[in-house]
A and B are shown apart, each in its own frame.
Chain A
Amino acid sequence: QKEVEQDPGPLSVPEGAIVSLNCTYSNSAFQYFMWYRQYSRKGPELLMYTYSSGNKEDGRFTSQVDKSSKYISLFIRDSQPSDSATYLCAMSALRVWEGADGLTFGKGTHLIIQP
């Protein structure tokens, strides 16, 4: 079993729909959880960063972390065709930007928003 499981999709939804993207993980040491969005031929861009359990909202995006279930989600409200991209979850046991070890990423979900 991989440390982080993420359905690669593709996930195709109509414009305006609520999108739910999810990852599960097995390493209970993970404390920092991130979602990256990646457009074709571009580097992943950080969308959300959450420490420990709880919800976090940023505009149309909401992340949820449930450490007891080892499950994280990213919700996109009022989805737009421009949201079509690959979304990668990533997690770390330590803060990656303070000298910690590497991130553990999911494989990424290819999301298609149909106009």
Chain B
Amino acid sequence: GAVVSQHPSRVICKSGTSVKIECRSLDFQATTMFWYRQFPKQSLMLMATSNEGSKATYEQGVEKDKFLINHASLTLSTLTVTSAHPEDSSFYICSAKESSYEQYFGPGTRLTVT
């Protein structure tokens, strides 16, 4: 079956630094990747939609200059949280899809900003 991996699974960084999260589709070509964020006791919130080779489309309220998304290949998308602050601490999960409606989610990355 289709597998999506994320790296790292957990990361702790200091306030003001940047952190990069990778999302990979391991056995299929992901034409579209999604990035979600989940705060405690909240649903997964879509942050952005990324199509390979194109600029990401960000949801309302998501700062595109703070959350840099790169989808340079059909198997890799990266989310870089720039100048991270404690309020950015959250659970970030990506998903990837081929042309069908099915999305395959990564296992998530727990970011803690101290």
Q: Which residues of A line the B interface, CB within 8 A?
A: 2, 8, 36, 38, 40-46, 86, 88, 96-99, 101-105, 107-108, 110
CA–CA, A45 and B42, complex, Å: 9
Decide if A43 touches B9 in the complex (CB within 8 Å): no
Interface hit among B19-27, B66-74, B75-83, B100-108:
B100-108
Decide if A102 touches B9 in the complex (CB within 8 Å): yes
Decide if A102 touches B43 in the complex (CB within 8 Å): no
The answer to the question of B13 belonging to the interface, with a C-beta cut-off of 8 Å to chain A, is no
Decide if A107 touches B104 in the complex (CB within 8 Å): yes
Q: A86-B103, A104-B107, A107-B102 are in contact. List 8 more A-B contacts (CB 8 A).
A: A38-B103, A41-B49, A96-B108, A98-B40, A99-B110, A102-B106, A103-B105, A108-B102
The answer to the question of B45 belonging to the interface, with a C-beta cut-off of 8 Å to chain A, is yes
Decide if A103 touches B108 in the complex (CB within 8 Å): yes
